[in-house]
Amino acid sequence: MIEFNSKLQSAIALRIRDKWEDNQHKIIWHGGDKVSFEPFVPTLESGLYNIMIAGISTYIGETDVSLHQRIARWIKVLHRTEHETEKHSLGKDLLRASEHYQINPQWFLNNATFSYLPMDELRLYWEGRDMIRNTLYGVETYNIDDFTNKEILTYLESVLIKELGPVSNKNFNDYSPNKSKNINEFQNLLEKLDCRKIINE
């Protein structure tokens, strides 16, 4: 299991957050699994991504297959076009909010941005940093090159979810002050967008 010093984890999470905030892309859905981005994003197979809606972090994810396909999944769930085997907590949360507050689902997509970091760049954040572990064979030293892409992505995803607190990631076992802040901001946004008052008047 990968686990570095908690201060180092926090520092790197903040650096990634800052990079994401400076590199946001508009999402354009073409139906199904087809999405494109403005500014342009090349087809990527491996990396971490962050979805923000109206400037609020709503979902952090990882993929070792296709970032474009992963981004399309929550949109398909929101628009009820997903395959029966496809699930996504952000899409489900937004669909529920859309129905409850009578908000057009397209509003969420129109106000969503996507940020990402490819796998080769993610590895650079940890270069030259050792991790010491007690094992059956005594004390051993590991570095990031000792782990697979999937192990690194899973580790970094959990660190970023805990540190940045996106609204729809389910991290019930970890308290995150940023998650409470993001949920409050998103709830305030939904209340401002509430169309039930207009419909009922």
Cis peptide before 39 (omega within 30 of 0): yes
Is 121 within the bounds of a domain? yes
Q: DSSP state, 144?
A: G
The residue type found at 168 is S
Main-chain dihedrals φ then ψ at residue 55, nearest 5 degrees: 80, 5
Torsion of CA 116, 119, 124, 127, to 10 degrees: 140
Measure the CA–CA gap between 95 and 39, rounded to whole angstroms: 27
The residue type found at 89 is S
Give the pair of three-digit tokens for residue 80: 């009820």
Q: DSSP state, 145?
A: G
Is 1 within the bounds of a domain? no
Would you mind telling me the total number of residues written for the chain in this entry? 201
pTM here? 0.88
The pLDDT tens digits of the residues spanning 62-118 come to 988 888 888 999 999 999 999 888 889 999 999 999 999 999 999 999 999 999 999
Is 25 within the bounds of a domain? yes
> What is the pLDDT, as a whole number, of residue 59?
96
Residue span of the structural domain in which 123 resides = 6-193
Is 103 within the bounds of a domain? yes
* Least confidently predicted of 102-106, 107-111, 123-127, 158-162: 123-127
Q: Which of 54-63, 119-128, 175-184, 189-198 has the highest mean pLDDT?
A: 54-63
Candidates 125, 90, 177, 94; CA nearest to 20 is 125
Measure the CA–CA gap between 52 and 64, rounded to whole angstroms: 21
Is 200 within the bounds of a domain? no
The pLDDT tens digits of the residues spanning 28-58 come to 999 998 999 999 888 877 899 999 999 999 9
Give the pair of three-digit tokens for residue 39: 């500014």
The pLDDT tens digits of the residues spanning 132-155 come to 777 888 888 888 888 888 888 998
> What is the pLDDT, as a whole number, of residue 135?
82
Is 176 within the bounds of a domain? yes
Bigger pLDDT: 166 vs 46: 166
Is 201 within the bounds of a domain? no
Q: How many domains does the chain have?
A: 1
Is 40 within the bounds of a domain? yes
> What is the pLDDT, as a whole number, of residue 38?
93
